[in-house]
Amino acid sequence: MASTDPPLARPVAIDAPPPEDSTWLVRLWLALPDWGFRLLGAAFFFGFLAWEVSDYFQIGFWRSWNYWRLPGGRFLYLPWAKVLIDVTYLLIAVSFIFRIPPRSRASRPCEILVPLAGTFWPYLPFAVKALLVWTHSYLAGPYVAFMFDRHLTLSGFIAGSACVILGNILDVWGYGVLFRSFSLVPEARELKVVGPYRFIRHPVYVGQMLSQAGVWLFFATWHIVWIAFFLCFVGLQLYRSWMEDRVLERAFGDSYLAWKRKTFWVF
């Protein structure tokens, strides 16, 4: 029976011109050399960290971020989640500087748009919040209240905190192992089979989905909007991983298939 899967895209050499039938997006993407992506990626994530670093010098930082109010007025805080998140940004920024060139470049619109959407999807509600606050909109207060319900149960706080911390620990581990092979889009550099990659083909995505589950299923207001938002993120990451698997199989052949048989993923 003929396969119903879409055909594999042909690899595009780093110095090859874009295909004749490519879209303007692909042509623009391939026109930027790898060093340009490295520069832009490092600048973006280092810039974001420069914006965030001032938080660490504020009085009371270790009593910030998410919290649970105990009987008697005492609080449990979760500052380590922010620390772990910022460590992942630091690893990504450094990885952009030192990463090796890919064996082939992403050459289809979906290979560009889906990964970028998956990367920035979790930030969309916070970007809306920042815009409303910056414009002094009367909707800022109601929107923040709609995002996060402070009436957490202790079990909800513990479960959400565990998801966020464990997910970000897995992210840090995965990014640390990837390092010079890191990429936002599906591109083959090296086949990583150590660290968390001994067990899971996409540990970074598992960590991200776990940490986002903590945010949107436990800390956020229990509403269909945030549940759907989280499920869309999961769908983006699963499709993203499917594309990466096909790129790695094309690049590494039998080595990839042997590793695939020993590791877990949903397909």
* 19: in domain: no
Cβ distance 154 to 202 under 8 Å? Answer: no
* 13: in domain: no
Name which of 39-53, 58-72, 105-119 the model is least confident about.
58-72
* 110: in domain: yes
Q: How many domains does the chain have?
A: 1
Structural domain for 53, as ranges: 24-262
* 5: in domain: no
Mean pLDDT of 238-265: 94
* 126: in domain: yes
Kindly report the average pLDDT of the chain as a whole number: 87
Q: What is the pTM of this model?
A: 0.86
* 229: in domain: yes
pLDDT attached to residue 18? 54
pLDDT attached to residue 150? 67
CATH code of the domain in which 36 resides? 1.20.120.1630
* 257: in domain: yes
Give CA separation, 94 vs 60, 81, 98, 103, 195, in Å: 29, 20, 7, 20, 19
Give CA separation, 39 vs 2, 44, 88, 109, 250, in Å: 43, 9, 18, 22, 27
* 16: in domain: no
| Burial grade of 153 (CB within 10 A; 0-12, 13-18, 19 or more) | exposed
Q: What are the pLDDT digits (tens) for 70-99? A: 666 777 777 888 889 999 999 999 999 999
Q: What are the pLDDT digits (tens) for 11-53? A: 444 445 555 556 888 888 888 888 999 999 999 999 999 988 8
Instruction: Determine the Cα–Cα distance for residues 50 and 176; give it in Å rounded to an integer.
Output: 21
For CA atoms 43, 34, 117, 264, the dihedral sign is negative
Torsion angle of C-alpha atoms 159, 162, 167, 170, degrees rounded to 10? -150
Phi, then psi, of 217 in degrees rounded to 5: -105, -15
> Rounded to 5 degrees, what angle do the CA atoms 45, 47, 52 make?
95
